[in-house]
């Protein structure tokens, strides 16, 4: 049986009429039936809606295929894994097998949006039928025009967020990586850049890296969006990373809300000796040259000597930067440790949801050293691809935390046990 993804946009069960016979269907008992559900049937633009199509087929059915595919005009449709029901359903004394096609739908405009009807072809060895899939309708309201909070970009929640800053102390000229994660069953692609306009010269420069979007497809679709930045301080001392506010609209409360991530500080020490020397220069005695002295000495150098000096300086700076660039990007463990520290602090303040989000991020980063693509894969896929005991242990912990954090009043696990398991993974790294 070939199954493309089908969806649900109807509150309550709607039983489709029996198929239209093309051959000799047995005793008027339908070969296949369809049931469509949509939840909720009233939503706002950008809100996730679950569309389910249940296909009931008799046990003697040997062929089931699309005759007319589903379409979702007015929605952004995301595929969700289908479900084969282990139990059968008896209809008119006949036993049926059940398969459920599912979609996560996000309306892109307001109004009465209709999901058109579609059709299946269902056949046994002796008979065949056309089976109609009924249309469904969702009433979609526009987001409130006013008063919208500052920075609102159309994000419809609820969402969770976390920020990591690595390292917290750097030398002048070095780089700090700032990562902001926004996640939840929401249209997170609408989230604006959390640190837009947060820094200006001469304090620091902020370089935005490519954004990424990952998905977890389970009972509903949960999306994760990562914003990564490189911050380059331009002065010594303490530089403040401001508080981050992520506004969103909550359909349950029918009002605006926001996630607030606390600010922090990084400490900037004087530039490393190699970089300072290369940038400022020295005279023959080894003393630093003042700008005027460098200009005078430079004017008396021959072209070859000046070129050689510049090449040497560039080599020193380049080698130092390359070494730091590699160490900062090859090893994720400093950022993982920072995430665990922040999660522990959040948990102590009772901010369990944010703490769990940080733990999930840290475990995914650790698993990415063993399972390619672990930042974007579902927890089930990560566990299936784990090839050794330490990796399976972390994958199992990730799966448990990811499930429990959506339960009311669920507290994240204690970090010492996680640190121990992560250290085991790190030591056993091939």
Q: What digits encode the pLDDT tens for the residues 72-109?
A: 999 999 988 888 876 666 656 778 889 999 999 999 99
Dihedral (C-alpha) 257, 249, 228, 370: value to the nearest 10 degrees?
100
Q: What digits encode the pLDDT tens for the residues 202-251?
A: 888 889 888 888 888 777 899 999 999 999 998 999 999 999 999 999 99
Q: Which of 143-157, 307-321, 370-384 is the most confident on average? A: 143-157
Average pLDDT over residues 36-51: 96
Angle between helices 389-404 and 415-427 (to 10 degrees): 150
What average pLDDT is seen over the chain?
78
Query: Predicted confidence band at 342 (pLDDT cuts at 50, 70, 90)?
Result: confident
Domains and CATH numbers, the chain: 14-141 (2.60.40.10), 160-269 (2.60.40), 273-330 (no CATH), 333-427 (no CATH)
Q: Hey, which residues does 68 pair with through a beta bridge?
A: 119
Give 356 or 426, the one with higher predicted confidence. Answer: 426
Average pLDDT over residues 302-315: 44
Give 382 or 404, the one with higher predicted confidence. Answer: 382
> Per-residue pLDDT for 430 more than 90?
no
> Per-residue pLDDT for 153 more than 70?
yes
Query: Predicted confidence band at 272 (pLDDT cuts at 50, 70, 90)?
Result: low
Nearest alpha-carbon partner for 421 in 336, 330, 342: 336
* Per-residue pLDDT, 312: 45
Percent of the chain residues topping a pLDDT of 70: 76
> Per-residue pLDDT for 18 more than 70?
no
Nearest alpha-carbon partner for 41 in 32, 50, 33: 50
> Per-residue pLDDT for 371 more than 70?
yes
DSSP string, 347-372: HHTT-HHHHHHHHHHHHHHHHTTTST
Q: Hey, which residues does 56 pair with through a beta bridge?
A: 33, 98
Average pLDDT over residues 112-116: 96
Count the Cβ atoms, other than its own, within 10 Å of residue 171.
Answer: 17
* Per-residue pLDDT, 227: 93
Percent of the chain residues topping a pLDDT of 90: 42
* Per-residue pLDDT, 218: 76
In this structure, of 22-26, 134-138, 397-401, the range with the lowest mean pLDDT score is 22-26
């Amino acid at each position: 049986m070939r199954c493309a993804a089908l969806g649900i946009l109807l509150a309550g069960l709607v039983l489709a009429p029996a198929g239209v016979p093309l051959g000799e269907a047995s005793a008027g008992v339908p070969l296949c039936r369809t049931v469509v559900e949509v939840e909720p049937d009233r939503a706002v633009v950008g809100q996730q809606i679950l569309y389910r199509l249940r296909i009931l087929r008799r046990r003697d059915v040997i062929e089931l295929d699309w005759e007319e595919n589903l379409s979702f005009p007015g929605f952004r449709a995301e595929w969700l894994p289908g479900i084969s029901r282990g139990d059968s359903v008896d209809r008119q004394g006949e036993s049926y097998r059940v398969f459920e096609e599912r979609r996560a739908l996000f309306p892109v405009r307001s109004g009465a949006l209709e999901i058109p009807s579609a059709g299946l072809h269902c056949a046994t060895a002796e008979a065949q039928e056309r089976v109609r899939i009924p249309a469904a309708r969702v009433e979609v309201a526009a987001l409130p025009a006013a008063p919208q909070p500052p920075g609102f970009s159309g994000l419809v929640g609820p969402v969770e967020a976390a920020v990591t800053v690595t390292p917290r102390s750097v030398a002048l000229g070095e780089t700090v990586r700032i990562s902001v994660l926004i996640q939840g069953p929401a249209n997170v692609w609408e989230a604006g850049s959390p640190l837009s306009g947060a820094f200006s010269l001469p304090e620091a420069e902020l370089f935005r890296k490519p954004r990424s979007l990952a998905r977890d497809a389970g009972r509903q679709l949960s999306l994760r969006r990562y914003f990564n930045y490189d911050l380059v301080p331009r002065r010594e001392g303490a530089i403040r990373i401001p508080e981050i506010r992520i506004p969103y609209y909550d359909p349950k409360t029918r009002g605006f809300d926001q996630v607030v991530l606390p600010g922090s500080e990084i400490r900037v020490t004087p530039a490393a000796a190699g970089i300072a020397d290369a940038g400022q220069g020295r005279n023959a005695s080894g003393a630093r040259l003042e700008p005027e002295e460098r200009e005078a000495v430079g004017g008396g150098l021959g072209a070859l000597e000046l070129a050689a000096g510049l090449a040497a300086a560039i080599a020193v700076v380049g080698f130092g930067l390359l070494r730091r660039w590699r160490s900062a990007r090859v090893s994720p463990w400093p950022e993982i440790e920072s995430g665990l520290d922040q999660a522990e602090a959040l948990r102590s303040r009772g901010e369990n949801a944010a703490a769990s989000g940080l733990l999930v991020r840290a475990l995914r980063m650790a698993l990415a050293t063993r399972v390619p693509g672990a930042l974007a894969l579902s927890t089930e896929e990560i566990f299936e691809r784990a090839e050794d005991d330490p990796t399976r242990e972390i994958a199992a912990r990730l799966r448990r935390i990811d499930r429990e954090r959506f339960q009311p009043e669920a507290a994240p696990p204690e970090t010492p046990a996680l640190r121990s398991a992560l250290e085991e993974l790190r030591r056993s790294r091939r």
